Structure 1
């Protein structure tokens, strides 16, 4: 959970950095001299703190809303909408996938048409429609005015669509918009902003996964969904409060538009060999000015360079399928484990906090100890090697989930079971504590440190300067595709196993074989890892600094 937030933060940084035309460094480069940097006021002494706080609190409210809705999405679908477990899991995966598809287009809209402020404001208004609709359809108006299940399902899907569109438009632009207010203050002020930006993101998600999901589970969704609705309305008000102070720039055009034109034009001209230049090794070369095309050679080469990175991204897609098990299969498993202790019921979605703990603990350890130790021993871990480590950890997390599922069911078969009620829905649950899931969440968090953080660093450092924002958006796009693949996999597995007479993922998972599904995911992840190794072995790093040395060699070295 938290590392996806970190991905959003890094995406925002990447979009800001992509404005710098001469820098390929992972670090933010300021055009100011060292002396002017020293003289530049800090964020807290700049007189703009009130402006920044409007943006930061707006982001906090948005993240609180999103995770309050996503956290118990599966429970709402099964308890209120009376959908099956596998349908609930599919909806959760598609919702998450869509929320990470939209940012690429939200960034394009802001850069090419509407500008960042208008895109954020418009996205918030769309968001409010969905967020306020949820508590309304959750209210019990009595038998005379009660909505049918099909009507509730229709309104709910509409609400999720508007929320996914809204969050995507905000996610792509709110970080860069905040940094835009501090452009003239230098690197230090911008870095301070993003540090606090990430803090506010995690504060919002922490409140959602503690208070928000608890109210929904224990007091009902009408009240529980009212919290994110009010939070979203507050986000709009807070954003508008600062409008009189914001630095609002008009759209300047998006590199995504240019890239699309290059690809589409080259595809239309790629049917026959080029008579005058048979040595061309790419269809994209046809649109170069040097070969009679209409695009500068440098622009075409920048687009071609993205093709080197795409195969790596393709192997990261299935990582996200594993990641999203936290909000689907892990959640369904947790519902059927012991949650009550001394009249206090632990919210199932709160287990996501252990994912955050894994990240918060491991980040300083790898930064201060593990990476420097490998470098000291003459074996520095390359970016692709670190991504591979994260993939292995993701595989371990899903194997742990399978082991816990076997233990959970064995305990129930031996008589260790109980009736457990969550949001009005009763479950046959194992007496095995839900805290037995802690290791699988912690290991997912550890995998994010290696695969997600390093993946963002890899995408940014290996991209041309004016394509870095696009590459950050494409990296988040892999998240969305991973969610869609996960939903498709649920459908395929259910259809195949039903035909064999032993459904792995039935409506009541106590009657199925969820452990087999986990082992299948682990096996597919290992196959994906094997493909990654082949691609990574052949990959050649691009020198992103004048003084770069070892990083330009193969990942295998």
Structure 2
């Protein structure tokens, strides 16, 4: 049997036997990184045959430990702020104040990727951006948060200013700076022509690693916080420091694409053209402008990332309730396990549903050619089911409360709500990563990733903060009081969110919306592959001759 590869799998070169069929221009003299590629600016990069194990594993490890730290803090943040863990030493916030605090922190964490993507693409590059964001922002923020949790270390009273500096500035900024580029750095370890088909598998691994980290952090930190919140909040600093050391140790193995300052400057200049009453198309060489036509079309695709990602906003609003309203509700329930630990059912749901989706559902959707927005509609419907579950639980708490201040409804009733959210993430948030990478021009992958994260992370949280404060009269002032929750009207708030989710489902099912998104994706793929079409053609011809 021939060991030549199938020409149809020319984007999956991963064994030494396949090298014999690869054109010389794609081969290097490095036995560890035998593949090479020359970028359009003349830069030459070399690639491993098995990038997932050669270099990506180091990137996935820092992502796992970063997500461990991030979600471990996020899942305990609200209870820490309202004094659930230590009634004698805490920020003393009300439920609405704590929800707004959590929302603001999360919003900044998902706004920073927009800035981080610009800096990575145009100034420092992905690798240096991760180093700077982790060492100068993320780690100092975690250390400051930990110090605040130790009584009297930063003063005789709880140091709210220090907590705000750590939890509202340094920590979310650091998380955002690296979040937009970690996934992109991993994807760039694959040869853009010979290993293009491996990138989808990488993104599956990436999203699974995110949820493994979230699951571990969501179990370990809440359990430790129940004994000592100071000890719990020290763990993330240690974990991320270890991740940073391992990430640096893999430095020599990474493909480090040079930042394209020229492309960033040209992009900003072209984007400024409407300010001078000129259209973006007027910047094309074919229309007398200064820029290559394909480059201008790439900028237009970059702008399309924003409206495409906005389609998952209704789901993201439901998703954000896990760390706020679902936890407030959990505090009014009979707790076999704490509200913070309930977050782990979401991570478990993502892992289980992700495996099921890849094995059975995705092949079925491919066979029937299900459109992208229809997938988003299904995912958003899962978010709607989660909110309906929360409403049913809310009515159950009210109807069963007997006035003695003790909870009567078991917190395990919340499991379906977390399960539905996790199932919805596969068809919304995970899908948004893939769509963004497809749409974005190759010079602006980090910026596009930042836009994606900004929309579904920051914009959705800003919306939630506005709704929280508009509906604050419906919430209990004391998030730990069963009596106050039983007299609250949180269900009214949840019905508003159900209406938003229902609108999201219907909007994504509209034929004009579905057709527009499919058109954007199709044109983007065609544009992004046009510069590599000749390389693909040469490779396929070589494979056919040697088959």
Matched, 1:438 2:415: yes
Give the aligned partner of residue 70 of structure 1: 74
Contact kept, 8 Å, 1:41 with 1:185, in 2: the verdict is no
Matched, 1:369 2:360: yes
Shift of 1:322: 1.4
Distance in 2 (alpha carbons) for counterparts of 1:392 and 1:48: 34
Alpha-carbon RMSD across the aligned residues, in angstroms, is 3.6
| 1:229 to 1:77, Cα distance in 2 relative to 1, 3 A | same
Pairing partner for 1:109 from 112, 116, 119: 119
Distance in 2 (alpha carbons) for counterparts of 1:463 and 1:383: 16
Distance in 1 (alpha carbons) for counterparts of 2:380 and 2:52: 42
Structure 1 window deviating more from structure 2 (521-530 vs 241-250): it is 241-250
| 1:28 to 1:437, Cα distance in 2 relative to 1, 3 A | farther
Contact kept, 8 Å, 1:32 with 1:186, in 2: the verdict is no
Structure 1 window deviating more from structure 2 (101-110 vs 294-303): it is 294-303
Matched, 1:386 2:395: no
Pairing partner for 1:132 from 119, 123, 143: 143
Matched, 1:315 2:311: yes
| 1:61 to 1:481, Cα distance in 2 relative to 1, 3 A | same
Pairing partner for 2:394 from 405, 408, 416: 405
Shift of 1:196: 5.3
Contact kept, 8 Å, 1:375 with 1:381, in 2: the verdict is yes
Shift of 1:38: 8.2
Distance in 2 (alpha carbons) for counterparts of 1:159 and 1:471: 27
Distance in 2 (alpha carbons) for counterparts of 1:463 and 1:114: 19
Shift of 1:108: 2.0
| Equivalences for residues 236-255 of structure 1 within 5 A | 236-243=244-251, 248=256, 250-253=258-261, 255=263
| 1:234 to 1:370, Cα distance in 2 relative to 1, 3 A | closer
Give the aligned partner of residue 122 of structure 1: 132
| TM-score after normalising by structure 2 | 0.77
Contact kept, 8 Å, 2:373 with 2:508, in 1: the verdict is no
Give the aligned partner of residue 493 of structure 2: 517
User: Would you say how many aligned residue pairs link Structure 1 and Structure 2?
Assistant: 478
**1:249-272 C-alpha deviation (Å, 9 max, x unpaired):** 5423375543332121232224xx
Shift of 1:515: 0.9
Contact kept, 8 Å, 1:131 with 1:232, in 2: the verdict is no
Matched, 1:205 2:214: yes
**1:445-469 C-alpha deviation (Å, 9 max, x unpaired):** 1111222233333444455555555
| 1:61 to 1:313, Cα distance in 2 relative to 1, 3 A | closer
Shift of 1:123: 1.0
Contact kept, 8 Å, 1:103 with 1:169, in 2: the verdict is yes
| TM-score after normalising by structure 1 | 0.76
Shift of 1:132: 0.8
Structure 1 window deviating more from structure 2 (316-325 vs 355-364): it is 355-364
Distance in 2 (alpha carbons) for counterparts of 1:529 and 1:51: 40
**1:21-42 C-alpha deviation (Å, 9 max, x unpaired):** xxxx9x9677999932889979
Give the aligned partner of residue 540 of structure 2: none
Matched, 1:84 2:84: no
| Equivalences for residues 217-366 of structure 1 within 5 A | 218-243=226-251, 248=256, 250-253=258-261, 255=263, 257-270=265-278, 283-306=279-302, 310-340=306-336, 346-366=337-357
Unaligned runs of 5+ in 2: 1-7, 23-30, 34-46, 84-89, 480-484, 527-547
Contact kept, 8 Å, 1:129 with 1:162, in 2: the verdict is yes
Distance in 2 (alpha carbons) for counterparts of 1:249 and 1:182: 12
